[in-house]
Amino acid sequence: MSKTRVLTGAALVPILLAIVWYLPPLVFALLAVGGAAVGQAELYTMARTRGARPLIVTGTFFGALVVFNFYRPLIPSAGGAVFLVSCAIIAVLTARLFARRHVEGAFEDVSFTLLGIVYVALLFGYQVAIHAGPPGKQWLLFLYLVIWASDTGAYYAGTSFGRHRLYEKISPKKSIEGLVGGTVASAGVAALCAKWLVDGAGTAEAVLLGVVLALVGTVGDLAESMLKRSVGVKDSGSIMPGHGGLLDRMDSMMFAAPVLYYYLRMR
């Protein structure tokens, strides 16, 4: 692990924890809107390497609406995110229809634009929903700590013991041993969270949830790696030295957050 990566992580982790713990839900939601916009910009930049021309303004506008809707429904009687995504589909197709562009490439332009809204903004917004719920700050910290433990455990276990490739065609460096190490680390952190952070969660429940979130987060990591590999880029961006882009840091969170949110809703 590079020195730059370690230093960046050491600086960002306490900042993010302070943001989650001390900021009111409205301010956190507005920051999430900005974060999702950065993630969409990274995705749209990757799309342009394939010759696509996403409708950046339209996609980012609807992405912001979708994320903020998780804090407070903009039109409560209209069905929330489903309504906004439906509007986005119609708006993106209409905007591309009347754009001063040749019809060739329309499929790719529309697809990448909507992917930015549904994959980045929609999944990003679940962190806002968790943060705004009771007791949202504790559970969102639980999510972050579990995923960070998974990433760290997987890195060190994979570096030290990795022999068997996990999914070589997508991520040649990831190993089964790394997955096991990351999952064990997540389970350990989840057990500590049950005792010191999350009220009302038993150790067994927290450990099982930590394992599930770690596994789902790994799938999210692989999914983003698939997108990057398909367009021939190593990182989604360069906003964080040593870590790549925002999507590179949030890919696991974006898959794990909906799982945690709906678990809490059914709990």
Three-state DSSP class for residue 175? strand
Residue 130: exposure state from Cβ atoms within 10 A (0-12, 13-18, ≥19): buried
- Tell me which residue of 70, 91, 42, 32 sits closest to 240, measured CA to CA: 42
Question: What pLDDT score was predicted for residue 60?
Answer: 98
Rounded-to-10 torsion of CA 199, 216, 8, 225: -170
Three-state DSSP class for residue 264? helix
Question: What pLDDT score was predicted for residue 242?
Answer: 59
Question: What pLDDT score was predicted for residue 9?
Answer: 61
Question: What pLDDT score was predicted for residue 186?
Answer: 97
Question: What pLDDT score was predicted for residue 8?
Answer: 63
Question: What pLDDT score was predicted for residue 4?
Answer: 58
For residue 105, give every residue at least 6 positions away whose Cβ sits within 8 Å of its Cβ, in sequence order, or none.
51, 52, 53
Length of the chain, please?
Answer: 267
Locate 111 and state its tokens.
């697809």
Can you tell me which residue has the tokens 């529309």?
110
Average pLDDT per block of 10 residues along the chain, 267 residues long: 57 84 94 97 95 96 97 85 95 96 95 98 97 91 95 92 91 93 97 91 95 97 94 83 82 97 93
Three-class DSSP labels, 106-161? HHHHHHHHHHHHHHHHHHHHHHHHHHHCCCHHHHHHHHHHHHHHHHHHHHHHHHHH
